[in-house]
Structure 1
Amino acid sequence: MKRISRAGRRIGDVAVNDATDPQRPPTPAATPGYTSPLLALPGAIPNPEESPDHGVAWHYGDPLTEQRPARDGLAVIDRSHRGVITITGPDRLTWLHSLASQDFTSLADGETTESLLLDVNGRIEHHFIATDLDGTLWLDTERERTAELLGHLTKMVFWSKVEVREADMGVLTLLGPEVTSIDAIPAPDRAAALPGGGIARPLPWPVAGQRWDLIVPRESLRTWWSTLTAAGARPAGTWTFEALRVPAMRPRVGIDTDERTIPHEARWIGSTAEHGAVHLFKGCYRGQETVSRVHNLGRPPRHLVLLHLDGSADERPATGDPVLADGRTVGRIGTVVDHHEDGVLALALLKRSVPVDATLHAGKDTIAASVDPDSFPSYDAVQAGRAAVDRLRGR
């Protein structure tokens, strides 16, 4: 394979729509109704229309077998339906730091992090992955939330020296232990520019050192796909990505969360180094009071857990279906996926009062379910705020 130069042109040269004027409505996101050109490839089976991943390949004929290269070899997955936003300008990091839950002032060039935007009550509105490289901050997020996120960021520019734009870029994800055999992959722990525009960046999950995302122009998707598959990457669909994401306990906004979800429930607390999306020791941002109160004094009313479902059932629960214990609703089903080794898995938000060994049923067809004990959070540690209150009360 011909080695790909790491120089390339500057990322900021990508032609995108200007959406920096706070008085101008943002350009509608290009991703709603999106259909990837890679769906025309032989064997590609599209996601169902009701799927949040509609518009890209679900699998290529054998979804369970396709998961094995992502674990043992190398797989490439078309995730080009995700929305991509770029932020440029000298104030980009300090400006986003004031809006979002993660610490952006200490984000190094080439470093990637995750972050949330919360409402005034601390409930999750947006989640995005962000990479800063060569003066451009790259954000990618769920397709259906791109326009809303773009609009919110645009309205918050005011006098800051930043430009917020939507980029006609798509995400290709490489998964597996052989990922470093691809010549397009640069240094092991930092993002780098790609020739023709875009970036390649590492992410620590589902397995550290075994995932890279390539954000490339959508017009170049076919070229990149051919290059990657010629280098040995096996095509896989979003089914494979979800089958690795779910046991890694990485939620998706609007799927594994609902309108009431706060960051502690979704297990998103943590700095960039901790692979979290909420830094606990940064300056003010909307919703911070709830985060601080729960962390220091309270407990989240629910928590994200991994469920094992009865695979012999003819049906599968759907996102949003109830989780039942003794006939009463105690939780909510998120992503449901068939794993090639572990059977049917699901992420679920459960009430904190539900014990780890509870007998559960999921969905309208009351499919038997059990909590994976390794996914059950511990609440043994005494919170700093609670300990201070107890000291004041002489306890």
Structure 2
Amino acid sequence: MRQPLAVIQAQAGAIFSDEDATLPLSFGNDVLAYETAQTGVAIADRSHWGKIRVADSDRLRFLHNQTTNDFQLLQPGQGCDTVFVTSTARTLDLVSAYLEADSVLLLVSPGMQQKLIDWMDRYIFFADKVKLEDVTDEMAAFSLLGPQSDRLITQLGAESLISQPIASHQNLEIDGFQVMVAVGSGLVSPGYTLFVPTEFAAQLWQRLTEAGAVSLGEQVWQQLRIEQGRPMPATELTEDFNPLEAGLWQTISFDKGCYIGQETIARLNTYQGVKQQLWGIQLDRDVPLQSTVMCDQEKVGVLTSLVQTPTGIKGLAYIRTKAGGNGLSVTVAGAEGTIVDIPFSTRGYLSPEAAAST
């Protein structure tokens, strides 16, 4: 039997994934949803993303030591994007963290929750007061995307979040149930992400769509995330790449002290050792993933993601730093292409003095 949320979505025209019967791939309105995410307000169901609750008294110190961002500076109601990396600074996942009064909620990539729980569990020692709980099935997550998102947030009573930093959040009571509203859509698109107990998910979805949010399926989400350059596990976030190469400089604190992978990241920054970087790519036809990117008969990179969008075929590729970037003409498996900038990516080096002041 379908859950109430899936029933409502099906009535709105949702076509569901064969692998996950609760994941709407499309609502039969992909062009409209794509345009609305850039001009109005769309809503994407991100309930299939993993959710981990980290609790007990050592939770902040533990996460501070496990990931790239600075948790010690944060207070309840605040949050950050951070990256789990290996000891050699290879990427595991890009995660959004939300500090609550007695725990931290981590929104992780789909299917990554158990891998990250197992990874963190390796570093919890006998005296550490840290508890990890997979709460993926207990909570639904919806993201509002687009410049009109503020209007819906104001209608819900969360207008104080407007213009606040990414991952700032507050709890509201809506129609008798609790909702956590957080700044950030998961993409560069302006917006918010809302968390609600699963049993009230259908009510919240209906409330938001009746207020004017256009339903947006996973196919359009993938178009937007590739076009904007958000890296994901199994494609851009793998043990072949580090977060500097992935363009995730904004998730890294260069002065917080030791954490897993810190020495490698600091060395790459100090000695400007980033040998490849993630870029967007526009192609004139479809090609296989993992195809080699060529420039002047020389291998300069590898294609990691590709999608057909309403404005053409777009992808993501790691390109050798010395080969160039925005505007570079390339070929990929016989297709002609151009390297383009991606708004999700941040780049650059900090001097030791500048790094110490961040």
**TM over 0.5, yes or no?**
yes
Give 1:76 deviation, angstroms: 0.6
Q: Contact 1:84/1:170 (CA < 8 Å) preserved in 2?
A: no
2:170 paired with 1:192: yes
How do residues 372-391 of structure 1 correspond to structure 2 at under 5 angstroms?
A: 372=340, 383-384=351-352
Correspondence for 1:283 among 229, 243, 257: 257
Q: Contact 2:92/2:238 (CA < 8 Å) preserved in 1?
A: no
Could you say if the C-alpha distance between residues 169 and 67 of structure 1 is closer, same or farther in structure 2, counting changes exceeding 3 Å?
same
Q: Gaps (5+ residues) in structure 1? A: 1-33, 270-275, 386-395
How do residues 317-356 of structure 1 correspond to structure 2 at under 5 angstroms?
A: 317-340=287-310, 342-356=311-325
Q: Contact 2:248/2:346 (CA < 8 Å) preserved in 1?
A: no
Q: Contact 2:247/2:346 (CA < 8 Å) preserved in 1?
A: no
Q: Residue 356 of structure 2 corresponds to which residue in structure 1?
A: none
How do residues 49-128 of structure 1 correspond to structure 2 at under 5 angstroms?
A: 49=19, 55-128=22-95
Report the Cα distance in structure 1 between the residues aligned to 2:121 and 2:351, rounded to whole angstroms.
37
Give 1:373 deviation, angstroms: 5.5
Report the Cα distance in structure 1 between the residues aligned to 2:49 and 2:346, rounded to whole angstroms.
30
State the aligned residue count: 334
How do residues 146-225 of structure 1 correspond to structure 2 at under 5 angstroms?
A: 146-158=113-125, 159-167=127-135, 168-182=138-152, 183-184=155-156, 186=158, 187-188=160-161, 189=164, 190-195=168-173, 196-203=177-184, 206-207=187-188, 210-225=190-205
Q: Contact 1:199/1:216 (CA < 8 Å) preserved in 2?
A: yes
Q: Contact 2:143/2:186 (CA < 8 Å) preserved in 1?
A: no
What residue identity is the alignment partner of 2:259?
Y
Deviations 1:146-188 (A, max 9, x none): 1110122234332222321111222211012221222336122
Q: Residue 256 of structure 1 corresponds to which residue in structure 2?
A: 236
Give 1:345 deviation, angstroms: 1.6
Q: Residue 208 of structure 2 corresponds to which residue in structure 1?
A: 228
Please report the TM-score for the alignment, with normalisation by the length of structure 1: 0.76
Report the Cα distance in structure 1 between the residues aligned to 2:197 and 2:50, rounded to whole angstroms.
12
Q: Gaps (5+ residues) in structure 2? A: 354-358
Look up the SS of the partner of 2:324 in the other structure.
coil
Report the Cα distance in structure 2 between the residues aligned to 1:44 and 1:378, rounded to whole angstroms.
38
Could you say if the C-alpha distance between residues 198 and 86 of structure 1 is closer, same or farther in structure 2, counting changes exceeding 3 Å?
farther
Look up the SS of the partner of 1:144 in the other structure.
coil
Q: CA RMSD in A?
A: 2.8
Correspondence for 2:331 among 339, 361, 368: 361
Look up the SS of the partner of 2:96 in the other structure.
strand
Look up the SS of the partner of 2:306 in the other structure.
strand
What percentage of aligned pairs have identical amino acids? 23
Q: Residue 274 of structure 2 corresponds to which residue in structure 1?
A: 300
Please report the TM-score for the alignment, with normalisation by the length of structure 2: 0.83
Give 1:300 deviation, angstroms: 0.9
2:101 paired with 1:134: yes
Whose helix fraction is larger, Structure 1's or Structure 2's?
2
- Which is higher, the Rg of structure 1 or of structure 2? 1
Give 1:347 deviation, angstroms: 1.5
Task: Please identify, of 112-121 and 260-269, the stretch whose mean Cα deviation from structure 2 is larger.
Answer: 112-121
Report the Cα distance in structure 1 between the residues aligned to 2:350 and 2:98, rounded to whole angstroms.
34
